[in-house]
């Protein structure tokens, strides 16, 4: 057992400073699988090492996607290691052989959590979801199903279900993204509106959006050039602002 701080320091460098120099990287399987099961930031950081062992050293992890799904909680859009997590999640969900129910569960859970996410995270996650729809056309039923639930209680999706296959995500619809089309930030509303149109076959490059910060978003808005809008000012006449207002003969605005 390691202190939490030491766990994080080890896992941050393990995938590029330790595993490549080991004669038998498979010896780290137990350590990484235990770390992956701890939860929180430690589980996120263990993903890097697990990715290498799964893809290069034939590590079999039967409940890998179930555990990955359980890591999706409201803090996922706020944590320090958000970019690393979504980069790896993008890789894990890139296979076209994944079942539709599994991908739909990830799409639905990420969309539900997006309702409380900051704008900089939303500008990353919406293209991320669009890419998932491009890779897995069977999930597009979530977008094209007309008439979402009147309220959250009517949504068949079970947010609390830990097993993706039992979440009933494929029976639901993406009313959450429709809600984001009315977001206060215009860039987010514009990004969410893309799902109203047919998606292009070319995937969006999200690499530049993974580490987008609130400061960069604010700085971008501040540096926008203001457009001079011509205004016509007409002095108010009468009580109701109309010309030849009969009330003006009998009432004064003073």
Q: Is the pLDDT of residue 2 over 60?
A: yes
Q: Is residue 39 part of a domain?
A: no
The pTM of the full predicted model, rounded to 2 decimals, is 0.75
The predicted structure's pLDDT at residue 209? 80
CA atoms within 13 A on the CB side of 45: 21
Each residue's pLDDT tens digit, 169-216? 888 888 888 889 999 898 899 999 988 888 888 888 888 788 788 888
Overall number of domains in the chain? 1
Q: Is residue 6 part of a domain?
A: no
Average pLDDT of the residues in 114-120:
91
Q: Is residue 241 part of a domain?
A: no
Q: At what angle do helices 119-135 and 100-114 cross, to 10 degrees?
A: 160
Q: Is residue 144 part of a domain?
A: yes
Q: How many Cβ atoms sit within 10 Å of the Cβ of residue 92?
A: 17
Q: Is residue 167 part of a domain?
A: yes
Q: Is residue 71 part of a domain?
A: no
Determine contact, residues 64/156, Cβ cutoff 8 Å: no
Q: Is the pLDDT of residue 110 over 90?
A: yes
Each residue's pLDDT tens digit, 64-97? 888 889 888 888 888 888 888 888 888 888 887 8
Going by C-alpha positions, the residue among 167, 169, 191 that lies closest to residue 178 is 191
User: For the ranges 49-58, 100-109, 118-127, 164-173, which has the lowest average pLDDT?
Assistant: 49-58
Q: Is residue 42 part of a domain?
A: no
**Domain coverage including residue 102:** 98-228
Q: Is residue 175 part of a domain?
A: yes
């Amino acid at each position: 057992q390691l202190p939490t701080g030491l766990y994080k320091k080890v896992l941050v460098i393990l995938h590029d400073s330790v595993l490549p120099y080991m004669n038998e990287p498979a010896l780290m399987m137990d350590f990484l699988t235990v770390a992956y099961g701890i939860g929180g930031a430690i589980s996120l950081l263990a993903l890097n090492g697990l990715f290498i062992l799964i893809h290069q050293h034939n590590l079999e992890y039967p409940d890998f996607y179930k555990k990955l799904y359980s890591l999706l909680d409201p803090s996922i859009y706020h944590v320090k290691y958000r970019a690393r997590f979504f980069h790896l999640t993008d890789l894990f969900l890139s296979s076209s052989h994944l079942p539709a129910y599994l991908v739909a569960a990830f799409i639905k859970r990420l969309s539900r959590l997006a309702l409380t996410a900051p704008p900089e995270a939303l500008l990353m996650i919406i293209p991320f979801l669009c890419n998932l729809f491009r890779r897995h056309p069977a999930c597009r039923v979530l977008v094209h199903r007309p008439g979402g639930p009147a309220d959250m209680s009517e949504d068949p999706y079970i947010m609390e279900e830990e097993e993706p296959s039992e979440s009933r995500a494929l029976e639901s619809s993406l009313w959450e993204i429709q809600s984001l089309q009315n977001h206060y930030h215009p860039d987010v509303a514009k990004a969410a509106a893309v799902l109203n149109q047919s998606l292009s076959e070319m995937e969006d490059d999200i690499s530049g959006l993974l580490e987008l910060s609130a400061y960069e978003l604010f700085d971008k808005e501040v540096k926008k050039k203001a457009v001079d809008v011509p205004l016509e000012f007409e002095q108010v006449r009468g009580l109701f602002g109309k010309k030849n207002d009969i009330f003006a003969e009998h009432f004064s605005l003073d």
